[in-house]
């Protein structure tokens, strides 16, 4: 199988040279740009990443500038891109590289894996693009191309399948420019071998593709059906006191750590939104509040669950705000909200809050 695939790689590379999309991190010798882009591209589409990447690089032009930055500044630059652990890990890794490695990345796949936030895919992408190491980067696009090419029916959500594909492509890649090989496979998956509409007639691999030959493209890749995600209803209080609004910072160990939010929590069984918010405000901040009116309802999906946020404007009645369940709590002016990083779902609430208090 390896030899058959290898016969089609020159055609794939020629196709890539002509058809690759222009990207600000492509064809650069700057490891910092490649590194940042690979982290941003994890679970995120190229078009979403573009504006974030440009802003991020102009704010943090090299590894040292990110290492020196305040974490809040980094989260603010990442705000809206999601999966914030990526930003926190990127900064941890940048601090390590800046302080212990003289600002230079380790030059091998296996040593890159020691840095926070770099898994096999990102480490292979960086090692192959920047250091020309012949190691395959196996992401979702590559798995789709490979399983269609070979009609491999193994479940791609199993680590063993990834290991198997990694092993075979490790043999295929040798002798070809590794950065171009990996980017060509990924680009092919992104723009030709698409999930629902593979464009086989223009594909440079169609001559050797088993699923194209047999008309089985849409049966691959095989992936175990994901369990139904739980959905949570959340009550959120936007509490005002003397023209200021209360915000809380999420704990180090919580999801979305380091980001700010309005206090609130899950609506318990048998509880109304209103009861939930009064209880959560008491439990999370020690405040007694009175509800004014509902100002926003918004849905948001995370990887393993989804939520509906129900946000109510409220007024402070008594008590001194304390960070009982968050790590920090602040009264700020409404116009200062833009200075703090918030999760995406809170952006809708902030917009509605601004119109409500105008």
x/- string (CB under 6 A) for ligand SF4, residues 59-88?
A: ------------------------------
Instruction: Find out whether the peptide bond into 71 is cis, omega within 30 degrees of 0.
Output: no
Residues numbered 194 to 213 that lie near ligand SF4 (CB under 6 A) are 198-200, 203, 205-206, 209, 211-212
For position 295 contacting ligand SF4 by CB under 6 A, the verdict is no
Q: Give the nearer residue to ligand SF4 in terms of CB position, either 39 or 168.
A: 168
- Give the helix/strand (H/E) hosting 76: helix 71-78
For 176, counting Cβ atoms within 10 Å of its Cβ (0-12 exposed, 13-18 middle, 19+ buried), the class is middle
Total binding residues toward ligand SF4, as defined by CB under 6 A: 15
Quote the least distance from Cβ 203 to ligand SF4, whole Å: 3
List 308's β-bridge partners, or say none: 233, 299
For position 141 contacting ligand SF4 by CB under 6 A, the verdict is no
- Asked if 137 contacts 126 with a C-beta cutoff of 8 angstroms, the reply is no
Quote the least distance from Cβ 136 to ligand SF4, whole Å: 16
| 200: Cα within 13 Å, side-chain hemisphere | 16
For position 310 contacting ligand SF4 by CB under 6 A, the verdict is no
Q: Give the nearer residue to ligand SF4 in terms of CB position, either 36 or 149.
A: 149
Task: For residues 243 and 225, give the distance between their C-alpha atoms in angstroms, rounded to a whole number.
Answer: 49
User: Active-site residue among 3, 22, 38, 55?
Assistant: 38
Using the 8-state DSSP alphabet, how is residue 227 labeled?
Answer: P
- Asked if 121 contacts 138 with a C-beta cutoff of 8 angstroms, the reply is yes
Task: For residues 74 and 84, give the distance between their C-alpha atoms in angstroms, rounded to a whole number.
Answer: 10
For position 238 contacting ligand SF4 by CB under 6 A, the verdict is no
Clarify whether 47 is annotated catalytic: no
Quote the least distance from Cβ 4 to ligand SF4, whole Å: 13
Task: For residues 26 and 179, give the distance between their C-alpha atoms in angstroms, rounded to a whole number.
Answer: 10
- Give the helix/strand (H/E) hosting 160: helix 159-173
Q: Which stretch binds ligand SF4 (CB under 6 A): 28-36, 144-152, 228-236, 240-248?
A: 144-152
Task: For residues 291 and 282, give the distance between their C-alpha atoms in angstroms, rounded to a whole number.
Answer: 13
Among 39, 135, 137, 149, binds ligand SF4 (CB under 6 A): 149
For position 287 contacting ligand SF4 by CB under 6 A, the verdict is no
**Site of interaction with ligand SF4 (CB under 6 A):** 145, 148-149, 192-193, 198-200, 203, 205-206, 209, 211-212, 217
| Residues identified as active-site | 38
């Amino acid at each position: 199988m390896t030899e058959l695939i290898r016969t089609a790689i020159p055609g794939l590379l020629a196709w890539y040279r002509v058809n690759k999309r222009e990207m600000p991190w492509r064809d650069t010798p700057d490891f910092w740009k490649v590194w940042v882009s690979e982290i941003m591209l994890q679970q995120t589409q190229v078009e979403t990443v573009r504006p974030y990447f440009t802003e991020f690089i102009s704010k943090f032009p090299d590894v040292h500038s990110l290492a020196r930055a305040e974490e809040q500044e980094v989260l603010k630059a990442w705000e809206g891109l999601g999966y914030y652990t990526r930003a926190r890990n990127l900064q941890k890794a940048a601090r390590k590289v800046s302080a212990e490695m003289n600002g230079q990345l380790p030059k091998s796949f296996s040593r890159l894996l020691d840095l926070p936030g770099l898994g096999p895919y990102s480490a292979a992408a960086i090692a192959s693009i920047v250091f020309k190491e012949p190691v395959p980067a196996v992401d979702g696009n590559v798995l789709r191309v490979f399983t269609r090419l070979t009609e491999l029916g193994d479940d791609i959500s199993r680590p063993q399948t990834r290991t198997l594909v990694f092993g075979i492509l490790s043999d295929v890649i040798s002798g070809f420019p590794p950065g171009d090989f990996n980017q060509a496979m990924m680009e092919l998956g992104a723009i030709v071998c698409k999930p629902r509409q593979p464009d086989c007639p223009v594909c440079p691999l169609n001559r050797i593709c088993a699923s194209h030959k047999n008309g089985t493209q849409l049966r691959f890749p095989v992936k175990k059906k994901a369990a139904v995600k739980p959905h949570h209803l959340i009550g959120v209080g936007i509490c005002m006191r003397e023209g200021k609004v209360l915000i809380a910072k999420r704990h180090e160990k919580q999801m979305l750590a380091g980001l700010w939010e309005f206090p609130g929590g899950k609506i318990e069984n048998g509880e109304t939104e209103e009861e939930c918010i009064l209880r959560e405000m008491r439990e999370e901040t020690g405040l007694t509040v009175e509800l004014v009116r509902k100002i926003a309802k918004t849905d948001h999906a995370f990887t393993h669950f989804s939520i509906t946020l129900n946000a109510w404007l409220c007024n402070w009645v008594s008590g001194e705000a304390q960070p009982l369940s968050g790590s920090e709590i602040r009264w700020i002016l409404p116009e200062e909200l833009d200075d703090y990083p918030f999760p995406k779902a809170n952006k809708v609430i902030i917009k509605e809050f601004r119109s409500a208090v105008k």
